[in-house]
């Protein structure tokens, strides 16, 4: 590892991959990135001439579902990414080296490719108790994160953990798990939310960065526009049922069998920005809604803290009891309605009892 | 504007004489035609928005038949968006009219919190509504308490609904739309648009509550206080009855 100067194409050919397969890969990647036909040759050219980008992949407070997803990428295959496209110099999960040997690599890369490597972070850093809730190599992870971020070119925040905080940052968040962009503020950070992110989204993003040598265009939330600019809802194949007003109302009803819209079952598709309904999962086989289950909104900020996954309206906990906007609103409107009725009654009573005297007075 | 009862009576008399109306009837022209027109269009838009909005939030019973034969939820959402545009345009024109119209046209856009006499009058109104004060004071336009409610429960609430509403609308029109360019900042405050939905939904109930109070007090004051209320927003004239 650490051979950052070699080109992708050299590595690919050395591994016995034919030029034909290489070009197939380039066109597939160009298509999955939504680029024009010319981009395929641009990608091929870039991979033939550019040195591989060194990548350090670190794991903070996380569950490794991002890596699990990543290794299942079909277009491009993850072996192509890890072995050919990037120079994945450090990843505690899949690297052969261990212990001091592994930790030595990270220091070596930091010194050798100062300001050139990409830091990919899976998970986040807990800040409570000086970061003692996540120890990596005998030190709090947050220290390692800060040190490595210092000399990086850019940071990829893999998954909802790194992007938003995810389950470990859900209330009451005892470890103060903090998303990467709240810890590192002076580096470009690409958020790739999702629990986990879609495999093809992850590998395509890596391909984009290595191909064009720059970061993709990001949206307001710091997510790559190419994958996160539309909601699940916008490209959902059940959308016609939504517009028609055809909803599943129980998991075993006729509408569920007919594959109607899961809006009433609490599907978060209308508020979730991700590529699931376009790219789908497991090599394009399916995605949650296609399997008959609503979207969780797993790529959205604080999705654990919005009440049940199966409720349309968000649970609001500020009132001590679990309620949603409708219940709170109806209670408030009802109370005011009662107050109005009572007030009207008192007004009427007062008027009835006072009027004779007043009339007499006026006469 | 000095709203003390003495000054008011003088003003009423002066206006009445000028307009050639019976001075003893005491009539003042308060709500100009654009304000009245806006009031009723706005009320209709809010009715449509409230109903369609509730159904968008809670959805409707499922429709039978083929998806291609139905478009009910689409129509409900269209009604919501259409009425939203009507409300927004009306609100903008109403702001314009606050500058162009008579002094009363400005009243719903500010609360003179800094004025001591204002608070005294608010206190009197509270006493009046609590059945403590025997007589209400007379006001040409909204009474001070009404102004307070109008500003916070209506003007600010509607502005909030317009901003969050257009932000949510931008989710459908996309990140390149003018709606997103103008209102996308809402998602910097609430990165998860689910929260924006929730706040927008709470706003609905704020406006429902306002409508309850607004209609009740308008009818009540029309009956028990010393001036016309309900007919004023139709004719524009405030009639003082004693």
Residue B218: exposed, middle, or buried by beta-carbon count in 10 A (0-12, 13-18, 19+)?
middle
Prediction pTM value = 0.86
Q: Is A267 annotated as a binding residue?
A: yes
- DSSP assigned state of A261: B
The reply to whether B186 falls in a domain is yes
For testing contact with chain A, the best of B62, B63, B127, B160 (most A CBs within 10 A): B62
Q: Where are the alpha helices (DSSP H) in B59-155?
A: 72-100, 116-129, 144-149
Strands A118-122 and A54-59 turn out to be parallel
- Contacts of B124-131 with C-beta under 8 Å, sequence gap 24+, read B129/A343, B131/A346, B131/A347, B131/A350
Which residues in chain A are closer than 8 Å to B70, comparing Cβ atoms? 244-246
What are the CA-CA distances from residue A263 to residues A248, A271, A308, B222 (Å)?
8, 11, 13, 45
A303 closest CB neighbour out of B72, B192, B201: B192
3-state helix, strand, coil in chain A (%, to 5): 50, 15, 40
Distance of residue B52 Cα from the nearest chain A Cα, in angstroms: 13
Residues B158, B45 contacting (CB under 8 angstroms) = no
Cβ of residue A343 closer than 8 Å to a chain B Cβ:
yes
Q: Which tokens go with A319?
A: 């009132």
CB-defined contacts A:B, below 8 A: 135
Distance CA B136, CA B222 (A): 12
Q: What is the DSSP string of B155-205?
A: IHHHHHHHHHHHHHHHHHH-TTSHHHHHHTTHHHH-SSHHHHHHHHHHHHH
- Helix-strand-coil percent breakdown of chain B, rounded to 5? 70, 5, 25
A233-312 shares the fold of A8-228: no
pLDDT of residue A52: 76
* Residues A231, B196: Cα–Cα separation, whole Å: 15
B24's tokens: 């003893």
Q: Which residues contact A156 (CB under 8 A, 6 or more apart)?
A: A118, A119, A120, A121, A189, A190, A192, A205
Query: A interface mutation test: which of B81, B193, B222, B242 has the most A CBs within 10 A?
Result: B193
Structural domain for B117, as ranges: 39-225
Residue keyed to tokens 């209709």:
B44
Q: Which residue of A has its CA nearest to B195?
A: A314
Both tokens of A77, joined, read 């295959």
What pLDDT does A283 receive? 86
Residue B208's nearest CA partner among B88, B51, B77, B76 is B51
The tally of CA atoms less than 13 A away on the side-chain side of residue A55 is 26
Are the beta carbons of A246 and B175 separated by less than 8 Å? no
- C-alpha to C-alpha distance for B68 and B48, rounded to whole angstroms: 25
Does A65 count as an annotated binding residue? Answer: no
Determine contact, residues A111/A152, Cβ cutoff 8 Å: no
Tens-of-pLDDT digits for all 363 residues of chain A? Answer: 444 457 778 777 877 888 898 888 888 888 887 888 888 888 888 878 777 788 899 999 999 999 999 988 887 778 777 776 777 888 888 888 888 888 888 888 899 989 989 999 999 999 999 999 999 888 999 999 999 999 999 999 999 999 999 999 999 999 999 999 999 999 999 999 999 999 999 988 988 887 777 899 999 999 999 999 999 999 999 999 999 999 999 999 999 999 999 999 999 999 999 999 999 998 889 999 999 999 999 999 999 999 889 998 888 877 667 788 888 888 999 999 999 999 999 888 888 886 554 544 444
Mutate to test the interface with A, among B194, B195, B241 (most CBs of A within 10 A): B194
Angle at B230 between CA B226 and CA B234, to 5 degrees: 125
- The answer to whether A123 and A61 are in contact (CB under 8 A) is yes
From chain B, pick out residues whose CB is under 8 angstroms from the CB of A220: 184, 187-188
Any binding-site annotation on A233?
yes
Does residue A300 sit at the B interface (CB-CB below 8 Å)?
yes
Instruction: Kindly give the confidence (pLDDT) of every residue in chain B, 242 residues in length, as a single tens digit, with 9 standing for 90 and above.
Output: 444 444 455 555 455 444 444 445 688 999 999 999 999 999 999 999 999 999 999 899 999 999 999 999 999 999 999 999 999 999 999 999 999 999 999 999 999 999 999 999 999 999 999 988 888 888 888 989 999 999 999 999 999 999 999 999 999 999 999 999 999 999 999 999 999 999 999 999 999 999 999 999 999 988 888 888 999 999 999 988 87
Contact A229 B174 (CB under 8 A): yes
**Domain segments of chain A: what residues?**
8-228, 233-312, 326-362
Q: Do A314 and B198 touch (CB under 8 A)?
A: yes
Give Cβ neighbours of residue A18 (< 8 Å, ≥ 6 apart). none
Domains in chain B: how many in total? Answer: 1
> What's the distance, CA B171 to chain centroid?
27
Q: Which of residues 62-91 of B touch A (CB under 8 A)?
A: 62-63, 67-74, 76-77
B97: exposed, middle or buried (Cβ count in 10 Å: 0-12, 13-18, 19+): middle
A325–B202 C-beta distance less than 8 A: yes
In chain A, residues 100-159 whose CB comes closer than 8 Å to chain B: none
Spell out which residues of chain B touch residue A268, defining contact as CB-CB under 8 Å: 194
Residue B20: per-residue pLDDT: 47
Are the Cβ atoms of A312 and B201 closer than 8 angstroms? no
Identify which of A114, A200, A121, A273 has the alpha carbon closest to the alpha carbon of residue B194: A273
Picking from B77, B198, B224, the nearest residue to A316 by CB comes out as: B198
The rounded distance, in Å, linking the Cα atoms of A206 and A118 is 10
Is position B239 within any domain? no
Q: Which CATH number fits domain A8-228: 3.40.50.700, 1.10.8.60, 3.40.50.1010, 3.40.1210.10?
A: 3.40.50.700
Q: Does A332 touch chain B (CB under 8 A)?
A: yes
ipTM: 0.85
Question: Which of B65, B73, B181 best tests the A interface by mutation, with the highest count of A CBs <10 A?
Answer: B73
In this prediction, residue A269 carries a pLDDT of: 95
Q: Locate all alpha helices (DSSP H) within A35-92, ordered by sequence.
A: 38-49, 65-70, 78-79
Q: How near does any CA of chain B get to the CA of A70, in Å?
A: 25
DSSP A108-174: HHHHHTTTT-EEEEESBEE-GGGGTTSEETTEEHHHHHHHHHHT-SEEEEEHHHHHT-TGGGSTT-T
Asked, for residue B198, whether it belongs to a domain, the answer is yes
CB-based contacts of A16, cutoff 8 Å, min separation 6: none
Distance, in Å, from the CA atom of B163 to the CA atom of A275, rounded to the nearest integer, reads 27
Q: Which CATH architecture has domain A233-312?
A: Irregular (4.10)
Euclidean distance between CA atoms B76 and A226, whole angstroms: 31
Q: Nearest by CB to B194, which of A230, A240, A297?
A: A297
* Cα distance between residue A23 and residue A206, in whole Å: 17
Q: What 3-state DSSP class applies to A240?
A: helix
* CATH number of domain containing B130: 1.20.950.20
What pLDDT is attached to residue B25? Answer: 64
Residue A236 contacts residue A244 (beta carbons within 8 Å): no
Q: Write out pLDDT tens, residues B93-152.
A: 999 999 999 999 999 999 999 999 999 999 999 999 998 888 888 888 898 999 999 999
User: Which residue from A244, A330, A347 is facing B72, i.e. has the nearest CB?
Assistant: A244
Alpha-carbon gap, residue A242 to A236, rounded angstroms: 10
The answer to the question of residue B11 being in a domain is: no
A158: tokens are: 């893999």
């Amino acid at each position: 590892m650490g051979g950052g100067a070699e080109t992708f194409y050299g590595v690919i050919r050395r591994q016995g991959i034919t030029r034909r397969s290489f070009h197939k890969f380039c066109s597939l990647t160009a298509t999955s990135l939504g680029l024009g036909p010319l981009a395929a040759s641009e990608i091929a050219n870039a991979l033939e001439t550019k040195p591989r980008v060194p990548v350090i992949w670190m794991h903070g407070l996380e569950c490794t579902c991002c890596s699990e997803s990543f290794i299942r990428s079909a277009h491009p295959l993850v072996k192509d990414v890890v072995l050919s496209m990037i120079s994945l110099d450090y990843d505690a999960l899949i690297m052969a080296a261990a212990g001091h040997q592994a930790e030595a690599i990270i220091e070596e890369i930091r010194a050798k490719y100062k300001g050139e490597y990409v830091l990919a972070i899976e998970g986040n850093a807990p800040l409570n108790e000086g970061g003692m809730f996540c120890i990596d190599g005998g030190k709090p992870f947050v220290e390692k994160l800060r040190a490595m971020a210092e000399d990086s070119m850019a940071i990829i925040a893999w998954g909802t953990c790194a992007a938003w905080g995810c389950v470990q940052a859900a209330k009451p968040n005892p470890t103060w798990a903090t998303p990467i962009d709240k810890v590192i503020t002076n580096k470009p950070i690409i958020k790739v939310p999702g629990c986990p992110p879609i495999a093809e989204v992850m590998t395509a993003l890596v391909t984009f960065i290595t191909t064009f040598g720059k970061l993709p265009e990001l949206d307001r939330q710091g997510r790559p526009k190419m994958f996160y600019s539309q909601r699940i809802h916008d490209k959902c194949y059940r959308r016609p049922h939504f517009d028609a007003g055809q909803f599943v109302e129980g998991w075993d009803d006729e509408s569920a069998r007919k594959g109607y819209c899961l809006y009433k079952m609490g599907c978060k598709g209308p508020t979730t920005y991700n590529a699931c309904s376009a790219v789908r999962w497991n090599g394009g086989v399916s995605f949650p809604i296609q399997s008959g289950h609503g979207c969780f909104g797993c790529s959205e900020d604080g999705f654990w803290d919005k009440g049940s996954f199966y409720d349309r309206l968000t649970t609001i906990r500020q009132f001590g009891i679990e309620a949603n906007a409708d219940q709170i609103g109806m209670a408030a409107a009802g109370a005011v309605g009662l107050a109005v009725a009572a007030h009207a009654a008192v007004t009427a009573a007062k008027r009835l009892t006072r009027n004779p005297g007043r009339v007499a007075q006026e006469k | 504007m000095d709203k003390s009862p003495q000054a008011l009576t003088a003003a009423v008399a002066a206006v009445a004489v000028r307009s050639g109306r019976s001075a003893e009837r005491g009539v003042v022209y308060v709500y100009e035609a654009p304000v009245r027109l806006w009031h009723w269009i706005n009320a209709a838009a809010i009715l449509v928005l409230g109903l369609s909005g509730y159904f968008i939030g809670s959805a409707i019973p499922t429709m039978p038949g083929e998806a291609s034969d139905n478009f009910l939820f689409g129509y409900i959402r269209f009604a919501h968006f259409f009425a939203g545009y009507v409300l927004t345009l009306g609100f903008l024109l109403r702001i314009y009219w606050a500058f162009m119209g008579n002094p009363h046209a400005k009243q719903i856009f500010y609360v003179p919190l800094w004025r001591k006499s204002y608070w005294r009058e608010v206190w009197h109104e509270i006493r009046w509504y609590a059945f403590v004060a025997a007589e209400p004071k007379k006001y040409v336009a909204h009474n001070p308490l009404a102004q307070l409610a109008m500003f916070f429960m209506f003007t600010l609430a509607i502005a909030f609904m317009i901003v969050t509403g257009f932000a949510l609308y931008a989710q459908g029109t996309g990140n390149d739309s003018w709606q997103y360019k103008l209102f996308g900042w809402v998602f910097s405050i609430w990165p998860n648009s689910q929260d924006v939905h929730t706040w927008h939904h709470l706003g609905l109930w704020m406006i429902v509550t306002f409508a309850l109070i607004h209609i009740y007090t308008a009818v009540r004051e029309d009956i028990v206080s010393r001036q016309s209320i309900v007919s004023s927003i139709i004719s524009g004239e405030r009639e003082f009855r004693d």
